[in-house]
Structure 1
Amino acid sequence: MKKDFYEILGITKSANEAEIKKAYRKKAIEFHPDKNPGDAAAEEKFKEAAEAYEVLSDAQKKAQYDRFGHQAFEGGNGGGGGGFHGGGMNMDDIFSQFGDIFGGGGFGGFGGGGGGQRRTKGSNLRIKVKLTLEEIANGVEKKVKVKRKIQAQGVSYKTCSTCNGQGQVMRVTNTILGRMQSASTCPTCGGSGQIIEKKPANADAQGMILEDETVSIKIPAGVVDGMQLKVSNKGNDAPGNGIPGDLIVAIEEIEHEFLKREGENLHYDLYISFAEAVLGVSKDIEAVNGKVRIKLEEGIQSGKILRLKGKGIPSINSYGNGDLLVHVNVWTPKTLNKEQKQFFESNLSNENFVPSPEKSEKSFFEKVKDMFS
């Protein structure tokens, strides 16, 4: 089981942005590979801290993690050879994304990634995927066509003369504490350590061309509108020996014709006639995976809420399914013929037609309270 992100950084859920960044920098310095050469355990803790910071430093991701835990960013490899957010960061990811935490790629004399060449990462791509309520309830695999930048055939590179292939330039500053060394990304090659030597005519200045690719995305059951999933390495390629960016998939829920979603629960408005309410009736209810037949007892009251256990949406945390709540509405006829009108007039004073709610009958406000509890 994956460790809690707050526990990894040694902070609480109430920590603000500055406290999260400070806690991450402290852990990163403690377990940095340059400070712990050859220590696999320290490197793993360094990666764990970076993964925790990636989520907790982003307000939207943090909110999703607080609500759903690790399941908010997992659910399959998505055809991208990695996974969604939190799917195991590598050292290139960490130094390309969080170099600023260490003062431009290094800190106090430690270089970014052991002082060797830092592999750059390509830019991310973002798409929106629309899902029906049925697809959300069952999980689905979507194939989408993505236009992404890839390295053109025939491109060749040579070592950057500014950084001598290191991808970083080092600066030494004299301070009251002594000589401090810091590293920053090479302005000539952008951190790749290489510059283009030759390229085909159809490639851009970075040796890239646009190409359509069909990407398979495995979407777990229970996702919510606005949630973002990540397919690793399906963004734009990076120049030279860099690693591709990621494909960020934003979920958009298509509104259902009859069902309204509230978290894992679903709501359905059932309208019945006055005669059906008096006599009782069986009705077919629209559920997310087909119709469900329910029986209404004689004399059922308008406003009654029937709860069908487990007929809602699966929890993304695998805590089971929500429920389907059927709201009974007795439809009062607006027009009556003469015979019908006479029938009701003759029963105006009949004791069976006089409202007489039982003490056990809950009020409207009690029903609303029960519904949200």
Structure 2
Amino acid sequence: MAKSDYYGTLGVRRDASAEEIKKAYRRLARELHPDVNPDPATQERFKEITQAYEVLSDPGKRQMYDLGGDPFGGAGGGAGAGGFGAGFPFSDIMDAFFGTAAGGGGRGPRSRARRGRNATIRVELDLRESAFGTTRELTVDTAVLCEVCTGSGAAAGTHPDTCDMCNGRGEVSQVTRSFLGQVMTSRPCPQCGGFGSIIRHPCQECSGDGRVRTRRTIKVRIPAGVEDGTHIQLAGEGEIGPGGGPPGDLFLEIVERPHEIFERRGDDLHCTVQIPMTAAALGTILTVETLDGAEEIDVRPGTQSGQTISLYGRGVQRLNETGRGDLLIHVNVETPSRLDPAQEELLKELARLRGEERPPGKFAPGQQGFFSRLRDAFNGR
């Protein structure tokens, strides 16, 4: 009997990969399965592609067939009366129609490449850096791709071998009996852990992990307007994944140091200035510090303690928006606690001129002396 051309039966090249052979079989099985096409000629054709796939999907049988031997060991051909050989994986038929192995989920081999972990580092900023943004060079302890094995985990000159227990499928199937009949289930291959391949000669540089730990420096731009507790996500700057998988993300946790003058509340800044009572009463020009440098403000006559003077647009840049917050200056009027005789006489004269002089101890209910009322006035009471 002439030897069958299994490659021609499936319509693939002789150097076709296992995945190409599997795809060709699935496509033909959907067209020729007896449940889909009951024509007798089609059923015979289905048996042929089944036998071809049984041989070419098994590395050992395929090698024997390529060398001219009998892959069935003289058993008279692979496909029996039912159309399936004794060693044919029935789950491939179910996979061709449903995309999963019968009853078991049909996961297929797991990729060794997995996404890397995220990393977080703390970045301390002063108020000016937070307000206007800055550029930082950060040193990160992370995992990077192993340059020796380029992430495969295998030693140079070698490669992962196909698992001989699951034939590279990453799972093994078993048939059990139940009151419903025979049930086929699948589970990850215990020998390869579901990867479908085994690293027999691990890379010495990374011990088979596909990555090595190192310290690297990255340059990052921190936007204006960040505040204490802000998290900035840098996509793809985390650890490279095992097996050459994609990297995770790097998160920057912003820590804002306290400022000696300003207190930040959102986008606004607050500060307190002390002025003497004479300046509050008569008015004055006061020089104050801002994030943009020193500026002069007009303190109007009669300013009370506790009043607020606002400098619009002198606060912090709004994050990812236009405009800035405000600088709010809280005035604290200082009332003298001790007066020399000349100063006391001047204040008494002022009280007489304002008609506010009262004999000691003669205040009507609810009335106060000049100094008490002056002190309370300047303290905002």
- With the shorter chain as reference, the TM-score category is 0.5 to 0.7
Alignment: residue pair count = 250
Contact 1:168 1:185 in 2 (8 A): yes
Greater relative contact order structure (CA < 8 Å, 6+ sep): 1
Equivalent residue, structure 2, for 1:278: 281
Does residue 136 of the first structure (1) align with residue 139 of the second (2)?
no
SS in 2 for 1:325: strand
Contact 1:152 1:200 in 2 (8 A): no
Shift in Å, 1:170: 9.8
Does residue 214 of the first structure (1) align with residue 217 of the second (2)?
yes
Equivalent residue, structure 1, for 2:226: 223
Equivalent residue, structure 2, for 1:297: 300
SS in 2 for 1:293: strand
What TM-score, normalized to structure 2? 0.53
d(CA) in 2 for partners of 1:171, 1:138: 65
Match of 2:309 among 306, 309, 329: 306
Contact 1:123 1:235 in 2 (8 A): yes
Contact 1:192 1:240 in 2 (8 A): no
Deviations 1:128-155 (A, max 9, x none): 0011111111111211111112233323
Equivalent residue, structure 1, for 2:258: 255
SS in 2 for 1:122: coil
Shift in Å, 1:173: 12
Contact 2:275 2:332 in 1 (8 A): yes
SS in 2 for 1:275: helix
Match of 1:242 among 238, 242, 245: 245
Equivalent residue, structure 2, for 1:64: none
Deviations 1:314-333 (A, max 9, x none): 22141521111111111122
Does residue 324 of the first structure (1) align with residue 327 of the second (2)?
yes
Deviations 1:241-273 (A, max 9, x none): 301121111011111111111111111111111
The gaps in structure 1 that reach 5 residues or longer are 1-107, 175-179, 357-362, 365-373
SS in 1 for 2:130: helix
Q: Name which of structure 1's ranges 312-321 and 237-246 shifts more when overlaid on structure 2.
A: 312-321
Contact 2:211 2:243 in 1 (8 A): no
Equivalent residue, structure 2, for 1:32: none
Contact 2:210 2:244 in 1 (8 A): no
Match of 1:342 among 320, 342, 345: 345
**C-alpha RMSD of the superposition:** 4.3
SS in 1 for 2:281: helix
SS in 1 for 2:318: coil
Match of 1:265 among 251, 268, 274: 268
Q: Name which of structure 1's ranges 189-198 and 130-139 shifts more when overlaid on structure 2.
A: 189-198
Q: Which amino acid aligns with 2:124?
A: K
d(CA) in 2 for partners of 1:351, 1:182: 102
The gaps in structure 2 that reach 5 residues or longer are 1-102, 155-159, 178-182, 357-369, 375-379
Moved over 6 A (4+): 108-112, 162-174, 180-194
- Asked which structure has the greater CA Rg, the reply is 2
Q: Percent identity?
A: 34
d(CA) in 2 for partners of 1:169, 1:290: 73
Question: Aligned in 2, Cα 1:231/1:196: closer, same or farther, shift over 3 Å?
Answer: farther
